[in-house]
Amino acid sequence: MLQSGKKTALALIILLLPVGQLLAGTVYVYLAPDVTLAYSDEQLETPYRYLNTIHLNWGDVEGRKPESIADKLDELLADEKVQKKSKKQVSDKRFSNIVNLMAEKYRLPPELIHAVIEAESNYNVTAISRTGATGLMQLMPETAKRLGVSDRTDPKQNIEGGAKYLRELLDRFNNDLALALAGYNAGEHAVLKYGRTVPPYKETQKYVDIVLRNLRRNFTSGDAG
């Protein structure tokens, strides 16, 4: 059974599943084609992208009140946070308001924008790459100009430009997040050149993996934004 929608408290989503499905013990978390979270008691295939697995191993839940089930889920999620704490990059709260604003404007999860910023600049406003990409979301001069960004070191302009570009790429590649990220890194023409697949460039393939890993952590940690 699939549940999909805007990011919501996991416990509330799980409670929509019948008790019999809770007894299956596992809920799979995916990124849906419309870049929202999807939850299922079955493993899904493309275009859904796997993010995480939540194990519901506390025995027979029949007779439990919904509140007690939600409490147990909260405990499981808290345990996950503790396990990942030492490895987790906490998003820079200075930019959360801008990220949230642009996420709403361009119909993106804020967790995705944070994942890209971390991979691109690690929240360094003045970061400049060897190819001349600049700012939080590492915009190239030509791309920035096309997106209406006049100052690439200005956090608001840079984040808006990057978010707008991500939305353009997602629309162009039918909400395939891996292709959109590949296009963000290598250029959309490279994705088209290789038949709408992630180009066989080590840097681009590594970049896509890093952003997806950041995104998975941001969704499951609840700290991004």
Q: Smallest Cα–Cα separation from 37: which of 222, 224, 219, 225?
A: 219
Question: Between the CA of residue 74 and those of 49, 67, 148, 156, 184, what are the distances in Å?
Answer: 24, 10, 43, 34, 35
120 noted as active-site residue? yes
CA distance 66 to 64: 6
Catalytic position from the list 111, 118, 120, 160? 120
- In degrees and rounded to multiples of 5, residue 141 shows phi and psi of -55, -45
Answer whether 39's CB lies under 8 Å from 14's CB: yes
Q: How far apart are CA 115 and CA 117, in angstroms?
A: 6
Alpha helices (H) in the chain, listed in sequence order: 10-14, 19-22, 66-84, 96-105, 110-120, 141-146, 155-172, 177-186, 188-193, 202-221
Which amino acid would we find at residue 80? Answer: E
* Residue 190: other Cβ atoms inside 10 A: 16
Query: Under DSSP, is residue 62 helix (H, G, I), strand (E, B) or coil?
Result: coil
User: Which residues are known to be catalytic?
Assistant: 120
